[in-house]
Structure 1
């Protein structure tokens, strides 16, 4: 991992992810000028998909949620560099990636300080040919083996001690080979074994039930959840 400090800007980056790293990589206007934007995902905020000489990447700016987000949309109170949102997520992902777990590889993280606050961004490798479970289940059902595979994957993360702060059906991806992945590790951290793993799974179940209520014809049932659990418990 390399570190750059330029004025109020601090950047961590993995040189193996880039040909020659540029600070401009965090600016969406740079990618527009290069005609290198390959798409975007629009939810509460926009995540950009871009392509450089090495491959496809994801550029994400950090925003606040909840009521405070209406006042401090994308600013956070200043903390130690390693505890900033981007650097903390970069660190977690780097550990998971080294362990061979199915996560996007962290490429670069940035914090930009301004008086008592900072803003943050992260760049990740893009998981090719993958969609989140909500997008898939709106179109088709998964078979028992696929559900069991998802359960086994989540168990791998829990066995590694990873607490996923937002384990929901949007943050589980399935690629075209049937491999499952987890994404969005903002505010995630490692813990000792405890009841948190059960609470994590309950959060995921609530997510499936919520999406089922939102989308008529959503291809999910409680039986699918039992198949996921059987994979989780068998691991």
Structure 2
């Protein structure tokens, strides 16, 4: 991992992710001017999919949620560099990636300080030909073996001590080979074994139940959850 400091800007980056890293990679206008935007995901905020000479990447700016987000949309109170949102997520992802767990490779993280606050961005490798479970289940059901494999995958993360702060059905992906992936590690961290793993799973279950209420024809039911749990417990 390399570290760059330019005025109030601090950047961490993995040189193996890039042909030749540039600070402007964090600016969407850089990619727009080069006709290198390959798509976007629009939720509460926009995540950009871009392509450079080394491959496809994801560019995400950090925003606040909740009521405070209306006042401090994308600024955070100053903290130590390693505890900033981008650097903390970069660190978690790097540990998981080195362990061979199915996560996007972290490529670069940035914090930009301004008086008592900072803004942050992260660049990740994009997982190819993958969709989240919500998108898939609006079109087709999963097979029992797929549900079991998803349960096994999640158990791997819990065995590694990873607490996922937002474990939900949007953050579980399947690629075109049927491999499961986990994404969005903002505010995630490592913990000793405890009841948090069950709480994580309860959160995931609530997200499936929520999607059923939002999407008529959503192809999931409680029996699928039991199969997922069977895979989780068998790991």
Q: CA deviation at 1:129?
A: 0.3
How far is 1:138 from its partner?
0.5
Q: Deviations over 1:85-119 (max 9, x none)?
A: 00000000000000000000000000000000000
1:64 counterpart SS class? coil
1:195 counterpart = 2:199: no
Where has structure 1 moved over 2 Å in runs of 4 or more?
A: none
State the 1:76 CA deviation. Answer: 0.1
For residues 85-234 of structure 1, what are the structure 2 equivalents within 5 Å?
A: 85-234=85-234
Spell out, residue by residue over 1:162-221, the C-alpha distance to the aligned partner (whole angstroms, 9 max, x if none): 000000000000001000000000000000000000000000000000000000000000
Displacement of 1:57 in angstroms is 0.1
Q: Distance in 2 between matches of 1:96 and 1:67?
A: 32
Q: Counterpart of 1:16 in 2: which secondary structure? A: helix
Report what 2:8 is aligned to: 8
Structure 2 residue runs of 5 or longer lacking an equivalent are none
RMSD: 0.2
Q: Secondary structure at the match of 1:11?
A: strand
TM-score (norm 2): 1.00
**In the alignment, what sits opposite 1:44?**
44
Task: Report the alpha carbon displacement of residue 152 of structure 1 after superposing the two structures with TM.
Answer: 0.2
Q: How far did residue 72 of structure 1 move? A: 0.1
Unmatched tracts of structure 1, length 5 or more: none
